[in-house]
């Protein structure tokens, strides 16, 4: 069962997106509905199971930042466009793409991010902030040193400059702050329980009726296991 | 690390000064001089095998020759001699040492090896030591000034540990000018043995210490710092200046989270989680020390402002709102009371603008009304002490006589006024005690005058509204921490 041990045993430096999210789900973090597909036919089958519109992503642990590599096809509304997107992704990838991730499409403008980092002095630290592709440009983020209390986690939500994004926005409901702090507390717990994990990005987290869902994630191992 | 009682380090009855020197250019001379001039209450025994006496005190060839029990030793010799001297101290039964000597881990791997040797020697001998590379130690109770810079601190309730000796002693020096009195100080040096966290624990239990200051660049065990400080913050404020905020993270990061995890963000989080008050300048450290040591905490973050003139009030409101403080509007009952004192055209708002009224009476009355109002937790009193200490225009002989006379008169009036006991400040100090609210004064007066306001009237004052606002916002943040940690 153990996703982490298996990956380390095969010499991986990180979990791919699919595995990362499966791992996060074991700590109760809500993730997108998704499946791995290895052929055009599988893409069509999984997509209809999940329900259109879907997203297709190149899935490989070597691919850490898929957007930069242009290996994402968003908002595929039907089977025909899903099949076409599959072929485009395969032809775009330089290393032969073995599998793709078929994922539910969450239509939500607001993107948040959480993360885990091991500080040399303070140990595991949990991050919360604005997510999406501009994360590092805007850098509207806050940290807390693990273990977090629920009060710490609640404070983090209130501490970012863009806190208003958590309120109701363009007809969408406000974020469920309890659910969001659950995620931060889960990361705190991972930081304390999983010394083999060095860093985690969960970016973006999107909102479905105000409930946060991890749309993309990356779990990175320590090169020198503690 | 085990809990250790540092009482004999800070308040020893007897000290060996190992490396004492007759050469006024050596630290072994300067530190000995500072101890002797600082009226140390215990006994000092200079140790130097090549001297018979130094500064009129008999000199001993080694600590073992000293015919008395010793609580503490100070070592200023070259680094290489230190391990053997620690062994000797151990044989003499000394339990605490301050290692002033440098050329240890701060200089590279070879120094680090020597430092480890010192640590091993100390462990074997059951010795705890400050430094190496320390600039010294100060304690008011024992009159101990075992320090390199000849600073004579004011005595008070603030204790400080500092990973920079320079910065620490500057605090003691500036503190003396601004009225911030110290109980204890230690320059922790390389922290080969005793660490900032050890000093923090000692200050937490020390009856003479009301406020703890710290200058930190790094700690070995961040979790221990948070854990320790969180417990202490609940009963004593800890104010921290973190140096090296702009340094990037410890290692290359593979994630976005890691790339954004700068030292400053993690430290900021850690300090906040532990209820420590983080300031960003050395001036801020001293400003906070002054208010936390002398004033009650505000119960919340609502501020009443009284001002002599509009602009001063405007920038103070801006400062409050940018620093998590609230400036609530005046309720009718307060307006009615103020109506009886102020001219008809007053603005009827908070800040209460005295509209360039010169008389002292309305200021005192308005201040009292604000202090009594239960809608505010603190007050900023701008211009509580009016004007400056001296008249800036000099007499000129070639001008018409009436002008020369006027300048002479103005100069006299201002000097006279500056020398008078100030009724506003006297009243302000009393209001703080009566209403248990911090009333921070802002005045153009000189630094020395600010110290005298504190000493004469127990009034905490600053020369600019920005500094006053920052201090008040730190106090309100600390109150919030105390309230939330008692939930």
Q: Which of B222, B255, B484 sits opposite A200 (nearest CB)?
A: B255
pLDDT for the residue B254: 73
Bridge-based pairing of strands A217-221 and A197-208 is antiparallel
Q: How is B221-233 classified by DSSP, letter by letter? A: -HHHHHHHHHHHH
Total structural domains within chain B: 2
Inter-residue contact A82 to A44 (CB < 8 Å): yes
pLDDT beyond 80 at B392: no
CA distance A204 to A116: 14
pLDDT for the residue B423: 85
pLDDT beyond 80 at B368: yes
Cβ neighbors of A171 (< 8 A, separation 6 or more) are: none
Residue of chain A nearest B219, judged by CA positions: A121
Q: Which of A121, A141, A200 sits opposite B260 (nearest CB)?
A: A141
Please judge whether B265 and A120 are an interchain contact, meaning their C-beta atoms are less than 8 angstroms apart. no
**Residue B174 included in any domain:** yes
Residue whose structure tokens are 């902030």: A129
Question: Tokens in use for B450?
Answer: 């600010």
Inter-residue contact B45 to B17 (CB < 8 Å): yes
Is B220 in the A-facing interface, judged by CB distances under 8 Å?
A: yes
Distance of residue A40 Cα from the nearest chain B Cα, in angstroms? 31
**Residue B444 included in any domain:** yes
Bridge-based pairing of strands A217-221 and A211-214 is unpaired
pLDDT for the residue A59: 74
Cis status, amide bond into A130, omega within 30 of 0: no
Is B261 in the A-facing interface, judged by CB distances under 8 Å?
A: yes
Cis status, amide bond into B178, omega within 30 of 0: no
DSSP B355: T
Question: Tokens in use for B212?
Answer: 């703890």
Q: Are residues B304 and B168 in the same domain?
A: no
* Nearest one of B382, B211, B371 to B302, comparing CA atoms: B371
Question: Tokens in use for A142?
Answer: 């806050």
Inter-residue contact A17 to A201 (CB < 8 Å): no
pLDDT for the residue B393: 66
Residue B7, judged by CB atoms within 10 A of its CB (0-12, 13-18, 19+), counts as: middle
Q: Are residues B15 and B88 in the same domain?
A: yes
Work out the mean pLDDT of chain B and round it to a whole number.
Answer: 92
pLDDT for the residue A169: 85
User: Using alpha carbons only, what angle is made at residue B263 by residues B258 and B269, rounded to the nearest 5 degrees?
Assistant: 90
pLDDT beyond 80 at B389: no
Over residues B418-474, the pLDDT tens digits come to: 666 788 899 999 999 999 999 999 987 777 788 989 999 999 999 999 999 999 999
How do the residues of chain A divide into helix, strand and coil, expressed in percent and rounded to 5?
A: 35, 30, 35
- Which has the minimum average pLDDT: A186-190, B1-5, B119-123, B361-365? B1-5
Please judge whether A117 and B273 are an interchain contact, meaning their C-beta atoms are less than 8 angstroms apart. no
Q: How is B12-55 classified by DSSP, letter by letter? A: -SEEEEET--S-TTSHHHHHHHHHHHTT-SSEEEEE-TT-SEET
Q: Which residues in chain B touch residue A198, judged by CB atoms under 8 angstroms apart?
A: 254, 258
Torsion over CA: B341, B344, B349, B350 (sign): negative
- Which has the minimum average pLDDT: B169-183, B204-218, B337-351, B358-372? B358-372
| Mean pLDDT of the B259-273 span | 87
Over residues B203-252, the pLDDT tens digits come to: 999 999 999 999 999 898 999 999 999 999 999 999 999 988 766 544 55
SS3 B371: helix
**Residue B403 included in any domain:** no
- Spans of all domains in chain A: 3-30+108-221, 34-104
Cis status, amide bond into B428, omega within 30 of 0: no
**CA-derived radius of gyration, chain A:** 18
Q: Are residues B86 and B162 in the same domain?
A: yes
CA distance B16 to B61: 11
Please judge whether B257 and A64 are an interchain contact, meaning their C-beta atoms are less than 8 angstroms apart. no
Q: Are residues B262 and B301 in the same domain?
A: no
Please judge whether A145 and B226 are an interchain contact, meaning their C-beta atoms are less than 8 angstroms apart. yes
Bridge-based pairing of strands B182-187 and B57-58 is unpaired
Inter-residue contact B399 to B328 (CB < 8 Å): no
| Mean pLDDT of the B372-377 span | 97
pLDDT for the residue A65: 54
pLDDT for the residue B250: 46
**Residue B405 included in any domain:** no
CA distance B329 to B346: 14
**Residue B402 included in any domain:** no
Q: Are residues B361 and B435 in the same domain?
A: yes
ipTM for the complex?
A: 0.85
Q: Are residues B248 and B352 in the same domain?
A: no
Domain boundary pick from B273, B292, B311: B292
Q: Are residues B180 and B214 in the same domain?
A: yes
Q: Are residues B472 and B329 in the same domain?
A: yes
Q: Which residues in chain A touch residue B226, judged by CB atoms under 8 angstroms apart?
A: 122, 145
User: In this structure, which topology does domain A34-104 adopt according to CATH?
Assistant: Dna Ligase; domain 1 (3.30.1490)
**Residue B228 included in any domain:** yes
Q: Are residues B275 and B336 in the same domain?
A: no
DSSP A124: E
Is B269 in the A-facing interface, judged by CB distances under 8 Å?
A: yes
Residue B2, judged by CB atoms within 10 A of its CB (0-12, 13-18, 19+), counts as: exposed
Residue B335, judged by CB atoms within 10 A of its CB (0-12, 13-18, 19+), counts as: middle
CB-CB neighbours of A163 under 10 Å: 11
CA distance B28 to B76: 6
Q: Are residues B334 and B265 in the same domain?
A: no
**Residue B392 included in any domain:** no
Strand segments, DSSP code E, in B192-265 are 211-216, 238-242
Which stretches of A57-132 are DSSP H helices?
79-92
pLDDT for the residue A225: 46
**Residue B395 included in any domain:** no
Domain boundary pick from B264, B292, B320: B292
pLDDT beyond 80 at B22: yes
pLDDT for the residue B339: 92
Please judge whether B249 and A119 are an interchain contact, meaning their C-beta atoms are less than 8 angstroms apart. yes
CATH code (residue B446)? 3.40.50.261
CA distance B317 to B466: 10
Q: pTM for this one?
A: 0.90
- Print the domain residue range for B152: 7-292
User: In this structure, which topology does domain A3-30+108-221 adopt according to CATH?
Assistant: D-amino Acid Aminotransferase; Chain A, domain 1 (3.30.470)
DSSP B276: P
> Considering chain B, what percentage of its residues have pLDDT values greater than 90?
78
Domain boundary pick from B271, B292, B313: B292
Cβ neighbors of B249 (< 8 A, separation 6 or more) are: A119, B258, B259, B261, B262, B263
What does the pLDDT profile of chain A (226 residues) look like in tens digits? 588 888 888 888 899 899 999 999 999 999 999 999 999 999 999 999 999 999 999 876 555 555 556 788 999 999 999 999 999 888 887 667 778 999 999 988 899 999 999 998 899 999 999 998 888 888 899 999 999 999 999 999 999 999 999 999 888 899 999 999 999 999 999 999 999 999 999 999 999 999 999 999 999 998 754 4
Q: Are residues B283 and B361 in the same domain?
A: no
CA distance B348 to B334: 9
Residue whose structure tokens are 């009650």: B296
Distance of residue B265 Cα from the nearest chain A Cα, in angstroms? 6
Please judge whether B222 and A145 are an interchain contact, meaning their C-beta atoms are less than 8 angstroms apart. yes
Model confidence at B487, pLDDT cuts 50, 70, 90, reads: low
Q: Are residues B287 and B435 in the same domain?
A: no
DSSP B302: B
Q: How is B123-182 classified by DSSP, letter by letter? A: HHHT-EEE-SS--EEEETTTTEEEESS---PPEEEEEEEES-HHHHHHHHHHHHHHT--E
Instruction: Enumerate chain A positions whose Cβ falls within 8 A of a Cβ in B.
Output: 13-14, 64, 113, 115-117, 119-123, 125, 127, 129, 135-136, 139, 141-145, 151-152, 198-201, 203, 218, 220
Q: Which of A123, A151, A199 sits opposite B257 (nearest CB)?
A: A199
pLDDT for the residue A67: 54
pLDDT for the residue A69: 63
* Nearest one of A46, A64, A61, A57 to A7, comparing CA atoms: A61
């Amino acid at each position: 069962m153990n996703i982490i041990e298996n990956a380390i045993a095969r010499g991986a430096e990180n979990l791919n997106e699919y595995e990362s999210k499966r791992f996060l789900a074991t700590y109760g973090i809500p993730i997108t509905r998704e499946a791995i597909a290895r052929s055009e036919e599988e893409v069509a089958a999984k997509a209809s199971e999940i329900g259109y519109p879907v997203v297709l992503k190149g899935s490989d642990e070597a691919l850490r930042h898929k957007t930069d590599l242009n290996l994402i096809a968003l908002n595929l509304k039907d089977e025909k466009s899903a099949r076409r997107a599959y072929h485009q992704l395969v032809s775009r990838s330089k290393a032969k793409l073995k599998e793709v991730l078929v994922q539910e499409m969450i239509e939500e403008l607001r993107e948040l991010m959480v993360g885990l980092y091991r500080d040399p002095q303070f140990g595991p630290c949990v991050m919360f902030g604005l997510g999406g592709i501009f994360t590092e440009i805007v850098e509207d983020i806050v940290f807390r040193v693990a273990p977090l209390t629920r009060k710490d986690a609640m404070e983090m939500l209130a501490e970012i400059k863009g806190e208003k994004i958590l309120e109701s926005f363009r007809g969408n409901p406000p974020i469920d702050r309890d659910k969001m702090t659950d995620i931060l507390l889960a990361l705190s717990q991972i930081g304390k329980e999983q010394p083999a994990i060095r860093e985690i990005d969960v970016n973006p987290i999107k909102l479905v009726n105000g409930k946060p869902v991890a749309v993309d994630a990356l779990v990175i191992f320590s090169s020198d296991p503690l | 690390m085990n809990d250790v009682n540092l009482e004999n380090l800070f308040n020893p009855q007897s000290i060996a000064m190992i490396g004492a020197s007759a050469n006024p250019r050596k630290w072994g001379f300067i530190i000995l001089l500072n101890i002797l001039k600082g009226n140390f209450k215990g006994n000092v025994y200079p140790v130097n095998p090549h001297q018979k006496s130094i500064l009129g005190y008999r000199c001993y060839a080694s600590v073992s020759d000293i015919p008395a029990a010793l609580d503490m030793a100070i070592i200023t010799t070259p680094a290489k001699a230190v391990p053997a001297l620690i062994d000797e101290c151990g044989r003499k039964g000394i339990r605490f040492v301050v290692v002033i000597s440098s050329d240890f881990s701060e200089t590279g791997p070879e120094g680090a090896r020597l430092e480890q040797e010192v640590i091993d020697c100390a462990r074997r001998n059951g010795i705890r030591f400050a430094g190496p590379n320390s600039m010294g130690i100060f304690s008011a109770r024992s009159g101990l000034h075992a320090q390199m810079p000849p600073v004579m601190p004011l005595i008070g309730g603030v204790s400080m540990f500092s990973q920079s000796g320079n910065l620490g002693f500057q605090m003691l020096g500036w503190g003396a000018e601004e009225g911030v009195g110290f109980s204890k100080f230690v320059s922790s040096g390389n922290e080969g043995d005793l660490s900032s966290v050890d000093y923090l624990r000692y200050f937490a239990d020390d009856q003479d210490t009301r406020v703890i200051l710290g200058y930190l660049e790094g700690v070995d065990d961040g979790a221990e710092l948070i854990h320790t400080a969180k417990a202490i913050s609940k009963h004593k404020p800890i104010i921290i200046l973190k140096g090296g905020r702009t340094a990037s993270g410890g290692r290359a990061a593979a994630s976005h989270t890691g790339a954004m995890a700068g030292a400053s963000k993690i430290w900021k989080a850690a300090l906040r989680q532990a209820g420590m008050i983080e300031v960003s300048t050395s001036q801020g450290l001293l400003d906070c020390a002054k208010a936390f040591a002398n004033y009650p905490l505000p119960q919340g973050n609502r501020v009443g402002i009284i001002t002599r003139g509009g602009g001063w009030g405007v920038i103070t409101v801006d400062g409050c709102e940018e620093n998590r403080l609230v400036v609530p509007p005046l309720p009718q009952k307060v307006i009615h009371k103020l109506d009886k004192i102020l001219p008809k055209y007053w603005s009827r708002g908070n800040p209460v603008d005295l509209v360039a009224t010169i008389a002292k009476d309305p200021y005192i009355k308005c201040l009292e009304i604000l202090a009594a109002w239960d809608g505010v937790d603190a007050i900023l009193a701008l211009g509580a002490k009016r004007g400056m200490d001296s008249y800036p225009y000099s007499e000129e002989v070639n001008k018409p006589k009436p002008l020369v006379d006027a300048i002479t008169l103005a100069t006299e009036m201002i000097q006279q006024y500056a020398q008078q006991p100030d009724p506003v400040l006297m009243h302000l100090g009393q209001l703080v005690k009566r209403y248990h609210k911090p009333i921070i004064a802002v005045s153009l007066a000189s630094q020395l005058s600010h110290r005298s306001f504190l000493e004469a009237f127990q009034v905490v004052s600053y020369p600019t509204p920005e500094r006053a606002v920052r201090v008040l916002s730190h106090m309100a943040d600390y109150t919030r921490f105390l309230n939330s940690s008692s939930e």
